[in-house]
Amino acid sequence: MKRKNIYQHIYILYATMFLLYICNFFLTSAMLDYVLGISAIFLFIIAFFMATTIFKTLGVLFTVVGSILYMTTTVTFAELLLVLTDNYGLLTLFMMLSWMNSIVRSGGYDNLLSKIMKVNAQDMGTLYNRSSISTFSLGTFLNLPAITVSQDIIKTNLKSSSKQLRNRFVNLASVRSYTMALLWSPLEIVVAVGIFVTGVRYIDVLPWLLVVVVMMFILDNLIGKFRFKKYKYKETVSKTFTKKDGKKLSGLLLALALFLMVIILAGNIEKLDFIMTITLVIIPFTFIWAIILKRLKRFTVVGWHAWKNGVSSMHNFIVLFISLALFSNGITHSAISTYIYEFILRFADTPLLLMFMIQLFILIMSLFGIHAIASIGILSGLMVPLLEIIDPVSLAIVIIISSVSTFAVSTYGLLVTITSVNTAQNPYRITLDNLFFTVLLGSIGTLLAYGLMIIG
């Protein structure tokens, strides 16, 4: 009871540190950098006591291994403090996500999307297709906020189903469609990094990314419909979609399109990166949206409670991402990265095998908690010899598709972690459910890339 009282207002401490990070993003104060680095240690300790067992275990594991790796380098303790803040941007974005969910609820859009999913749905196979399309559409516009919105709606729609069936449905319908939505998006940072390191133009890879998305989306929906068709849908099914619903849906699509435009325009500001752009845009955009809908009072009340509860429950995220920053950077700075270079270049004489090794490398790294961007960063040291073996466009396709596909299985990544928290299930369960999907998606991309290189 005493511990719960202490943590009752923990959101004030968490929010203060993350707001300080936003301020220092623009101030770039060296002193504040170290203050944030030191605060990361204290935040980790404070959050650790309230984290769940699985995240405590992962936090200890990443911290111990990361510390051992850093002992083999020449990095100073002062430099190490700065490393601990690498994922502050992600944590700050998490702090803001509840506001986007709140405007969707305040505007009644969650009920609208729920109705779209359920119209004439007689079985869960049909619901799978509707859920997949809805998540894909939301993901294209909203990016990260889309996954929580979509999963909340799916959970509501399946509240009468068993927890095991409901979780498996969420793991497949939302995680896979969201991953595919990011595969072609210029707003996805991994896509941007893949284009940057290979030196190709976005327009050169976009058509091929879209080809893979369409192929995989159709295939996954056919499999999903067949897999869940045997389960009858038990909820009340809506028979009609009214003109009022259509008008409301048009308003939602317009708002999401405007949000996308704002993100693109704000992203042109040199100082801002992708994560910070979304973080800064969410609050003003949602408040203006609420004013237009004439739901400001309801939005403010719903948003405040959702934000306060959300920030107060960030213990798992804090433990995971602070320790993961230490571990991930430990890999990059240690001698392990050299062994990785030597291993990959052994396959230089067989381009197709080399492409598959790149795909496998990114997948394995993601399963060990290394973000795809870090994996691309390691590969960037090999870019000159790789581009002599593999055509730049083909290499970009392999890197982008292999990287984005791991979002569905990266046990300690954003998508799986959010899904794990939203559904109260072990993240390894989500990884296992989507492992075949990830391997298949990455392999289709690799084979397409090799085919283009042979034809070209």
Nearest alpha carbon to residue 447 among 351, 341, 321: 351
Q: Residue 424: which region, alpha, beta or left (left: phi > 0; alpha: psi -120 to 50)?
A: left
Q: Which range, 115-119, 138-142, 242-246, 391-395, is most confident?
A: 391-395
- Residue 38 pLDDT level (bands cut at 50, 70, 90): very high
Half-sphere exposure of 303 (CA within 13 A, CB side): 23
Closest Cα partner for 249 from 113, 153, 102?
113
d(CA 228, CA 165): 10
Q: How far is CA 372 from the centre of its chain?
A: 11
Nearby residues of 33 by Cβ (< 8 Å), 6 or more positions away: 24, 82, 85
**% pLDDT > 70, the chain:** 94
Average pLDDT of span 63-83: 90
Which of 165-189 are b and which e, b meaning 16 or more Cβ less than 10 Å from the residue's Cβ? Answer: ebbbbbbbbbbbbbbbbbbbbebbb
Structure tokens at 418: 């959010």
Q: What is the pLDDT of residues 144-169, one digit of tens each?
A: 677 888 888 888 878 888 899 999 99
- Cβ-count burial of 28 within 10 angstroms (0-12 exposed, 13-18 middle, 19+ buried)? exposed
Q: What is the pLDDT of residue 360?
A: 95
Structural contact between residues 398 and 359, judged by C-beta atoms closer than 8 angstroms:
yes
CA–CA separation, 331 and 230 (whole Å): 46
Question: Residue holding tokens 């990011």?
Answer: 182
Rounded to whole angstroms, how far apart are CA atoms 146 and 136?
9
d(CA 265, CA 261): 6
Q: Mean pLDDT for the chain?
A: 87
* Degrees to nearest 5, angle at CA 88 with 36 and 374: 120
Measuring CA to CA, which residue among 343, 348, 360, 400 is closest to residue 376? 400
Q: Sort 278 into a burial class: Cβ within 10 Å, 0-12 / 13-18 / 19+.
A: buried
Query: Is the model's pLDDT at 29 over the cut of 90?
Result: yes
Tokens 């969201």, residue located? 178
pLDDT given for residue 209 in this prediction: 95
Tokens (6 digits) for 168: 């498996």
pLDDT reported for residue 187: 63
Rg of the chain on CA atoms, in Å: 22
For residue 372, pLDDT over 70 is answered with: yes
Structure tokens that stand for 432 in this block: 């296992």
Neighbours of 233 (CB within 10 A): 20
Q: What digits encode the pLDDT tens for the residues 249-299?
A: 888 888 878 887 887 787 677 777 767 887 898 899 999 999 999 999 999
Task: Express each pLDDT in 345-362 by its tens digit.
Answer: 788 889 999 999 999 999
